[in-house]
Structure 1
Amino acid sequence: MAAALPRIKLGSQGLEVSAQGLGCMGMSAFYGPPKPEAKMIELINHAIRSGITHLDTSDAYGPYTNEVLVGKALKGGMREKVELATKFGFKLDGSNITIVGDPKHVRAACEDSLKRLDVDCIDLYYQHRVDTTVPIEVTVGELKKLVEEGKIKYIGLSEASASTIRRAHAVHPITAVQLEWSLWAREVEEEIVPVCRELGIGIVAYSPLGRGFFSGGSQLIQNLSVEDRRKEFPRFKPENLEHNENLFNRVKDLAARKGCTPSQLALAWVHHQGKDVCPIPGTTKIANLNDNIGALSVKLSPEDMSELESIASAGAVKGELNPAGHLTWRNSETPPLSAWKPT
């Protein structure tokens, strides 16, 4: 019997998810070597039994292996208990990585994800990054066809600009926008979050713990494996880490006063942004998963929120959010539809 977690509505088309989801990326990619499959399946099943129903993956994680893992975890009646999200957009050719959003790739990527996940339908299908060479109307037009064919239920975008979101939403309602939002990643509050709320689009916050920083501070960083991509991030570099540790210690002090862990406090701050926000913290450990769920019970007063926001105010963090040249393509614009010449 699954535990009862609060549920929220994502978007205006009928999708409901648990108020907290589970990001599955780190089980297979980027954060060190892939974790043992059996343990990760056990973790996903534990999450579902604990009331988490929103699972997030992508064809880029692995690549491809994370979708296979999630698919295996959903055997034995688990599929009916979850809202499954995956993504497309990265095209991998050896070490060459491009962003592709043309109709042919959209359709092929969806078919491939359905096979790897071994499901008949994807609940929420995101464009992982925006292809700046293809009008967003063309990409979403193909996604709309996939909805009509029953291969996907809802459409999402990730790291799109406000104008791109508007143009996409005019073709077919966008259910969710996925973006990085945490105590130290707040740029989205200026334009992206307001446009989502204006249009009735749900918000899915990835890396709500600052890629794990708010769970352990510099100690976490020092214990990362040599293969962990987070070592490349400027905020985790030695020249910035000592300064940022002061920020973590202030969060830690407030957490002690609130009777919770630093990660629960940082995650509770994201939860308190609104009932249209679903953070998807990732983890590979059941203890951390339980800790994250505990954030839903942390109540923050306006004074607590104000104190947290002053701790993590603009300029309080040292170092850029992402490495130079990192594959983010944030706030990407696309050409006008009139410029599109199908091949």
Structure 2
Amino acid sequence: MISRRDTLKLCLAAGAAATLPLSTGLLAQPPRGELITRAIPSTGVRVPAVGLGSSATFASVARSEDVAALREVLQTLVDEGGRVFDTAPGYGASEAVAGELAAELGLSETLFWATKVNVAGRNGGSADPEAAREQIETSFRRLDKTPLDLIQVHNLGDVPTQLGLLKELREEGRVRHIGVTTTFERHYEALEQIMEREPLDTVGIDYAIDNRFMEERILPLARDRGIGVLVYAPFGRTRLWERVRGHEVPDWAAEFDAHSWAQLFLKFVISHPAVTVATPATSRARHMIDNMGGARGELPDEAMRRRMIAHVEGL
């Protein structure tokens, strides 16, 4: 079995030129060894196609008194060429701790901050506008960057109220990009409707090699509407790791420069032409290095993507 730890050196060696497969052809390849980047369609701002999320293990460590590992993982993200850091007030101490660490490391302006707002009540309750404003202002203070790169309405919480506030902030120049997120299947129809009628810069969704529902309508709609896509849970949280336990990465994965399961999963996700960036969470620097290897080298074409799906489904 090839583990993430065992393949760390191989991850660093991945350096072939990257391609972005489209149904009509291939985008230009970046020079050998450079990170694959994608543009947010509405502004043209380019970001590395793999970033860092702060839920799950990152959030767990953020609650502890020893955040040295998080300091290391943030520095490693930037050292490896990454910029996108996805967080939310709802991720416990993640946003506050990340803001403090970034300030210590001098990374506040370097990072592309993607945070969220949601003060709506449970079961679709309405959001108090003043509470939402205060949550947003707290994020500004924590992350210490103006304009903030991206704020999204978390889990479609009272979109009319909270997205309305974000539109105002974008108009004022305090926020560069705005959007909405959900990782709940019950919200998918509503997400589609919002994408069709609202001037969004981005959406945040769940998408993975074993979770491809978004390919049917949401991802094509994002391309048609010029909306950037942040992908959460590209490893299915822990689901994919359980599935591949005891199995080696197939030899043919080297054809698109994937030398670990993490890189195979990430390359599948970012090879979809609608995807802007995948943001798996981690609190370990060696995993951050491994993940960033997923944004270097070749990407699978459509035929290879089908082969990847068949292989994973057969495990």
TM category (shorter chain) comes to: 0.7 to 0.9
Q: Which deviations, in whole Å up to 9, do the C-alpha atoms of 1:244-279 show, x marking residues without a partner?
A: x4xx269x4553443411221111111211264311
Q: Which deviations, in whole Å up to 9, do the C-alpha atoms of 1:38-61 show, x marking residues without a partner?
A: 220121011112110111000001
- 1:4–1:310: structure 2 CA closer, same or farther, 3 Å change rule? closer
Structure 1 match to 2:72: 42
Q: Which deviations, in whole Å up to 9, do the C-alpha atoms of 1:4-30 show, x marking residues without a partner?
A: 523211232233211111112235436
Count of equivalent residues: 273
How far does residue 210 in structure 1 lie from its aligned partner after superposition? 1.5
Report the Cα distance in structure 1 between the residues aligned to 2:190 and 2:43, rounded to whole angstroms.
21
For 1:191-340, list aligned pairs within 5 A.
Answer: 191-214=217-240, 216-217=241-242, 245=243, 248=244, 252-259=247-254, 260-274=259-273, 276-296=275-295, 297-312=297-312
- 1:11–1:100: structure 2 CA closer, same or farther, 3 Å change rule? farther
- 1:24–1:32: structure 2 CA closer, same or farther, 3 Å change rule? closer
1:205–1:280 Cα contact (<8 Å) kept: yes
Report the Cα distance in structure 2 between the residues aligned to 1:284 and 1:168, rounded to whole angstroms.
32
How far does residue 138 in structure 1 lie from its aligned partner after superposition? 3.8
Structure 2 match to 1:320: none
Query: What SS does structure 2 have at the residue aligned with 1:108?
Result: helix
- What amino acid does structure 2 have at the position aligned with 1:307? R
1:90–1:129 Cα contact (<8 Å) kept: no
Structure 1 match to 2:28: none
- What amino acid does structure 2 have at the position aligned with 1:71? G
Report the Cα distance in structure 2 between the residues aligned to 1:213 and 1:36, rounded to whole angstroms.
28
Give the counterpart of 1:11 among 38, 41, 56: 41
Q: Which deviations, in whole Å up to 9, do the C-alpha atoms of 1:185-204 show, x marking residues without a partner?
A: 11111121121111100111
Report the Cα distance in structure 1 between the residues aligned to 2:245 and 2:238, rounded to whole angstroms.
14
For 1:5-154, list aligned pairs within 5 A.
Answer: 5-29=35-59, 34=64, 36-62=66-92, 65-75=93-103, 76-90=105-119, 100-131=126-157, 134=158, 136-154=159-177
Report the Cα distance in structure 2 between the residues aligned to 1:99 and 1:267, rounded to whole angstroms.
35
- What amino acid does structure 1 have at the position aligned with 2:264? L
Structure 2 match to 1:341: none
1:90–1:97 Cα contact (<8 Å) kept: no
- What amino acid does structure 2 have at the position aligned with 1:77? G
- What amino acid does structure 2 have at the position aligned with 1:149? E
Report the Cα distance in structure 1 between the residues aligned to 2:239 and 2:89, rounded to whole angstroms.
26
Report the Cα distance in structure 1 between the residues aligned to 2:65 and 2:35, rounded to whole angstroms.
27
- 1:97–1:42: structure 2 CA closer, same or farther, 3 Å change rule? farther
Scaled by the length of structure 1, the TM-score of the pair is: 0.70
Q: Which deviations, in whole Å up to 9, do the C-alpha atoms of 1:194-249 show, x marking residues without a partner?
A: 211111001111110111443x43xxxxxxxxxxxxxxxxxxxxxxxxxxx4xx26
Structure 2 match to 1:333: none
Report the Cα distance in structure 2 between the residues aligned to 1:140 and 1:98, rounded to whole angstroms.
15
1:182–1:266 Cα contact (<8 Å) kept: yes
Report the Cα distance in structure 1 between the residues aligned to 2:124 and 2:236, rounded to whole angstroms.
26
Structure 2 match to 1:238: none
Higher relative contact order (CA 8 A, sep 6+): 2
What are the ranges of 5 or more consecutive residues in structure 1 without an aligned counterpart?
218-244, 318-343
